Amino acid sequence: MKTRPSLVQSICLAVISRVLGRAEAGLLILRLPDGRERRYGAKDGAAAELIVSHWSFFPLLVARGALGLGEAYADGSMRSPNLPALIQWFILNKKQLSGAARRLSRLGAMFDDVYHRAHANTKAGARDNIHAHYDLSNAMFETFLDGSMTYSCAVWEEGDDLDSAQARKRAMIMEKLDLKPGMRMLEIGSGWGRLAIEAARDYGVEVVSITLSEEQLVVAQERAREAGVADKIRFELRDYRDVDGTFDRVVSVEMIEAVGYENLGVYFGAIDRALAHGGKAVIQAITFPNEGFEAYRSRTDFIQKHIFPGSLCPSVNAMKGAMRAGSRLAVTRMESIGINYAKTLGTWRQRFLGSKSELSGLGFDSRFIRLWDFYFSYCEAGFKTRTLDTVQMVLEREEASA
């Protein structure tokens, strides 16, 4: 291995070192390819470690910023014994580091923003974006999800395993929906069908559930047949913008992140049109803080580039503004459950990394596994630092809730 950096690599290391020297929260230990060690931030306490195996890491970090950190991890030029803790260190020092980091990575950000705009959520674009994430392989998702194949924030109590924590979350949604036998319910975003199946089986509800994922559609239909409720559920490959008919209830769990900022009003308008008089909707959404949202939505992050093209986590204010602009809906109840997501993501990550041989057998290489490891870690750190939240919201028409 080359133990001496090139001139460019040395300059980039010096620039990065100067930026990291501004950190105040927590200790970062940087281990260089030649075995030397540098320390930044607090002088003591629990340390985050960044182990660099190749000098090329530093030009990449200068050019790409936070995106470069994830790409370097995926390519193997850096590693960490506790990846979520490393990302958390950067988040906690965001205020001290972000200005310089943005200036350094401006050129790379321009190209990434062009990429993100190319994945806008038109009807055709939405199909492609969903396909790029959810149609990777049902078997791949089975390696880390629970038996119900629920791919959203669980709600934990002491002694829970993943299955029981996910069941608790679904029960919370059902309570908010206040389902009655004979009601018609629209689900926007089927997942693998568990919520729709429970609504039909346990509450006597007739369900129309829509998805853009062909892989999920096949599994959801099969599971409905196995549960004996295929006559009560109609799973359809359909865009939310093309829904017709009226429903007593609408539910949508962590699907709004795939809508895109420009379509938030369209999304809430579609829910409004679908609701019968006196109906209500329940959505679960991953949210970004109101403060800083404009900056977040104007740039491309790791998840948008490498995991879920076209995605965006809305702020609560952005959702409320879109409701006012595009619908007659108002929030009548809201509950934060984001404190549970770090554990959910940590559990998913542990199960995923424990399935490397199975993933390899499915055709996923080591770079893919590291990309998803960084994805889980990135999100876990976001929830641990309360940069991200998850809310369950009950929506009703303003005239119905007055």
Nearest-5° Cα angle at 312, 116 to 391: 175
Tell me which residue of 58, 27, 20 sits closest to 42, measured CA to CA: 27
Instruction: Pick the catalytic residue from 12, 153, 313, 379.
Output: 379
Is there a catalytic annotation at residue 12?
Answer: no
CA 150, 226, 197, 126 torsion-angle sign: positive
Q: Return the H-helix or E-strand segment holding 125.
A: helix 123-134
Q: In the chain, how long is the greatest CA-to-CA distance?
A: 72
Phi, psi of 176 (to 5 degrees): -70, -35
Residue with tokens 């809906």: 329
CA distance 180 to 350: 38
Integer Rg of the chain from CA: 22
Q: How far is CA 311 from the centre of its chain?
A: 8
188: region left, alpha or beta (phi > 0 left; psi from -120 to 50 alpha) = beta
Residues that are catalytic: 379
